[in-house]
Amino acid sequence: MSTFFLEIYGEEIPSDAQVFGELELKKIIESFLVKNKIQFSKINSLSTSRRIIIFSRNVSKQTESEISEIRGPRTESNKNAIQGFVKSNKINFSDLIKRKIKDTEYFFYLKKSPPVKLNILLEKNLNEILSTIKWKKSMRWGSLQDKWIRPIRNILCVFDNKRIKFNFAGLDSVDYSFGNYHYKTKKIQFRSIDDYFKNLKTNFVIADRNERKKIIYKKLYSFCNKENFERNFDDKQIEKIANTVEYPNIYFGKFDKSFFVIPSFLIQSILTEKQDYFYFRKENGEISNFFGFVTNKKNAKMKLLISGNERVLKARFSDAIFFLNEDKKKSFQERLELLNGIIFYENIGTLYDRSLRIKTLIKIICKKINFKILKNQENFLQFSNVDLTTEVVKEFPSLQGKVGGYYLSLQGVDKELCMAFSEQYSQNFNNNNVLSFVVSIAQKIDAVIGFFLSGKKLTGAGDPFGLRRSVLSIIKISIEKKINLNYLSVFKECENLFKKQGIKTDLNFFSLIEFFNKRILIYLNEIGFDNNFIKINLSKESLNPYLIKENTKIIEKFVNSSLGKKFLGAFNRLDSILGNKNYDSDIDQSLLYEKEEIKLFNSIGILKKSLDVNKSIYNLDELKNLNILTDPINEFLDNIKVNVEDIKLKRNRNSLLFHCREILNLYYKFNDIEFGNVKT
């Protein structure tokens, strides 16, 4: 077994493209080795802002030899046919073997294919392998046809400590690389995998992303311990910043406290989104005026570097103060009128229309869940989207909602409503402010209904309109906050709101519910529920995510219990006999001759009295009562012949079984379960 090493070195690779590139290249090379029957242990992948690395310490030097069986003519064929087969394969007659297929005997030739050296295969195929990666955005440079995420400057490729010769993007592969370009451009000769990584570190490159992250975390935690700050950082941000450097160096600066006139969420956004800086919180939760940043090079003039970043931040904060002051010059009502000039969807009205609908939707939902809106809250509901017109949101789109909530708080408006405006685009809620949930659900329902009415189509796995994300958010909020609400009724009222505004509507509620049900299935499956039990609680006539989750939990618990398994076994016996046939459920009691018939009929009657047809959430104790039918069903099926010659008796017995199934399916969809599995 030998080592294989490939490094593509070039210009700055965007953070998200690094992980994508290394995983795609790894997958393609693995597939190539498997296809060519090359034995290997593990393919490793690493990436930095400048390079993508693929390597393996144990790869076979050649393909496995193969024996393929070539069928020739039948043994009783004429001599010319047999000689022709021998000649065409360049073999002797003695090389043939005989074998029967069914009742006919044939000649066969076992052809042995010699192994092919991997270095030859790599030289022939690496150009195509690199061309196979489908980047979201790729580049061509010069007059070259080959594409890559960014211009390539060097290709290192070695197998069994020998250079693999190929050309890609106008570059011939070599057996050397380069270190961190901020320090030096000296060539690093490849001698072995371990030696390569050792030399990279010496030349200020840490190839392992996790190691770069650990360095950043360590420095941040050390600074937090020194200044008594909270040790709470976003791992995604840490990874993003670790992807921008090959050798992380962390520095700390601070800004003037006068900038605390800017709301903390905006300070935080400027630091993290605009500058890729770290912010710090004091132990009391207040944001500090210290910040941290990472560079690719250790700078001898540290004070100059820090002061330069402080000046950049000062300019950013000054811009933010300007935006805030400009925004305050317009009233909420003026901003609401500005929404009249922004189209929601083509032929679906403006954002002004949407704001009025959302206000009414909030009131509708609150009434349905018995939550009372205060008068001073109701007076401001139509302003939920006005921050779209502000300078701050134009500059920081991710702060939509938070900006509206902040400006509302400056008017002295109720804190719960300010919080609801701020959190309306959130996916997670760490509070019990009902108004936050309702406002969030209302704006998402209006967005979903608006999309369906617009006639637009969702294609592919992407989510360009945020529709799937909105639906999953509605589901998540409803389940986590136990909002017991049939959304179908809300959808219908929302459609009427569009109609009242003169917007043409032709909403396909079936498609809408199906779209939601697919997302419910995904969400509940992700939190641990079995698809089989989720599906039996999905309906085309109603949509209540909270009830679906609760009933799934209860039905799954029952079916997996010993009582449930016994009952389901009996029910499936009954269901398999009836199949898809329907019978008259009117039973002639005078034809119930046998004790098993009478027992089943009486047991059904007892069960009917204990079942609540108007219930919304399943009751586990009620489900356990279904065991009343387990023995009567089994005893009936074990001892009673259904398909008798007497037509009336046969029909009556089928009707009894059908009646039993109908009663059960009136409450539960047991005919959709088969020993714990949903029928397909």
The per-residue pLDDT for range 51-105, each reduced to its tens digit, is: 999 999 989 888 877 777 888 888 888 888 888 888 888 888 888 888 888 888 8
Question: CA 124, CA 119: separation in Å to the nearest integer?
Answer: 9
Sort 3 into a burial class: Cβ within 10 Å, 0-12 / 13-18 / 19+: middle
Write down the pLDDT at residue 64: 76
| Tokens standing for residue 276 | 């890729």
Angle subtended at Cα 129 by Cα 123 and Cα 130, rounded to the nearest 5 degrees: 105
Per-residue pLDDT reduced to its tens digit, 454-495: 887 776 666 767 889 999 999 999 999 999 999 999 999 999
| Tokens standing for residue 568 | 């389901």
Pairing of strands 677-678, 673-674: antiparallel
Angle subtended at Cα 507 by Cα 502 and Cα 511, rounded to the nearest 5 degrees: 160
Question: CA 418, CA 100: separation in Å to the nearest integer?
Answer: 83
Pairing of strands 51-59, 2-10: antiparallel
| Tokens standing for residue 613 | 């047809």
Write down the pLDDT at residue 675: 47
DSSP result, 382-398: GGTTGGGGSHHHHH-GG
Contact 617, 550 (CB under 8 A): yes
CATH code: domain 561-678 is 1.10.730.10
Sort 127 into a burial class: Cβ within 10 Å, 0-12 / 13-18 / 19+: middle
Write down the pLDDT at residue 613: 65
Per-residue pLDDT reduced to its tens digit, 102-149: 888 899 888 877 788 899 999 999 999 999 999 988 888 877 888 899
Write down the pLDDT at residue 461: 63
Residue whose C-alpha is closest to residue 158's, from 177, 145, 136, 141: 177
| DSSP type of residue 305 | H
Write the class of the CATH domain 334-508. Answer: mainly alpha
Tokens 């520095």 belong to 251
0.85 cut: is pTM over it? no
Within 10 angstroms of residue 563's Cβ, the number of other Cβ atoms is 15
- Give the domain ranges of the chain: 2-62+117-202, 66-113, 209-327, 334-508, 561-678
Low-confidence ranges of the chain (pLDDT < 70): 459-462, 464, 613-615, 671-680
Within 10 angstroms of residue 565's Cβ, the number of other Cβ atoms is 14
Contact 315, 309 (CB under 8 A): no
Question: CA 57, CA 255: separation in Å to the nearest integer?
Answer: 49
Host H or E run for residue 519: helix 509-526
φ, ψ at 241 (rounded to 5°): -70, -35
Question: CA 161, CA 61: separation in Å to the nearest integer?
Answer: 12
Write down the pLDDT at residue 460: 64
